Amino acid sequence: MVAEDMVVLDVRPEDEHAAGHIPGAFSVPLEDLDRRLGDLPRDREIVAYCRGRFCLFARQAVERLRADGFRALRMEDGVAEWEERGYRVAVGAEGDV
């Protein structure tokens, strides 16, 4: 599900990411996004997700990324919906972007 031409960002707090996240997703909590913009590739699409369709973190992250010139989309669902569909959830920290 994660393509090589995109970066998947988990914008939830780090402890939530460590408890379970979409495999291959990088943890960049919304509160750290401005500080981490320089770490993100500008030549790849960025897909942000958070706790699910009613969580505003991903929406805010996409607005911030687009304002800085990134190609960004919001994943409507979160980890719970991902897992409910039968997809694997990774536990622990991922590497840096």
Catalytic residues: 50
Cβ-Cβ contacts under 8 Å for 23 (sequence gap 6 or more): 2, 88, 89, 90
Q: Which of 8, 45, 5, 47 has the alpha carbon at shortest distance from 24?
A: 8
With 0-12 / 13-18 / 19 or more C-beta atoms within 10 angstroms meaning exposed / middle / buried, residue 74 is: buried
- Rounded Cα gap, residues 26 and 14, in angstroms: 10
